[in-house]
Amino acid sequence: MTKVVCPGSFDPVTNGHLDIIGRASRLFDEVVVAVLVNESKRGLFTIDERLELLDRATSQFPNVSTASFNGLLVDFCSDNGISAIVKGLRAVTDFDYELQMAQMNSSLTEVDTLFIPTTPEYSFLASSLVKEVAKHGGDVSRLVPDFVLTELKAKYA
């Protein structure tokens, strides 16, 4: 049974994230969507809120679960029997950064990193951009699930 992880901050989860998660769920037996706990950064949504939004957003995928972690991703993988990391790539700049991370991770453990190119309609999409547009009253309804849009509006009300 192949168990993989899709790590990220998911602050908030976007349709671009769900594209990668959904595609990974068709390729692998089990997908864990893992939210990084970074004590040095304060997100718009708490870790618990992100996990709740992710649980709702991924409920359509029966082989997807959610978790949070702090520390090294490779340690999370080792502790949870995860054999590979799945990352979405939007552009060449993502590849440069993610390749370095993949090589560092492979130097620490035997966990492989696999890249899935994003669907073109989401190639520009980042949680930080969604938050910035939503903060200023812009329309992000096509970029996030409806319930995430509701929560964004509540945060910026």
Task: Look at residue 78 and give its three-state secondary structure.
Answer: helix
Q: Is 9 annotated as a binding residue?
A: yes
Cis upstream peptide for 12 (omega within 30°):
yes
Q: Is 102 annotated as a binding residue?
A: no
- Is 136 annotated in the active site? no
Q: Is 10 annotated as a binding residue?
A: yes
Q: Is 136 annotated as a binding residue?
A: no
- Which of left, alpha, beta for 41 (phi over 0: left; psi -120 to 50: alpha)? beta
- Is 131 annotated in the active site? no
Q: Strand 112-117's sheet: what is its strand order? A: 64-69, 30-36, 3-8, 84-89, 112-117
- Provide the CB-side half-sphere exposure for 66 (13 A, CA): 22
Q: Is 49 annotated as a binding residue?
A: no
Q: Is 50 annotated as a binding residue?
A: no
| Catalytic-labelled residue, pool 26, 41, 42, 136 | 41
CA distance linking residue 46 with residue 86, whole number of Å: 23
| Catalytic-labelled residue, pool 23, 50, 90, 131 | 90
| Catalytic-labelled residue, pool 23, 25, 127, 131 | 127
Which parts are annotated binding residues for substrate? 9, 41, 73, 87
Which parts are annotated binding residues? 9-10, 17, 41, 73, 87-90, 98, 122-128
Which parts are annotated binding residues for ATP? 9-10, 17, 88-90, 98, 122-128
Active-site residues, by number, are 17, 41, 90, 127
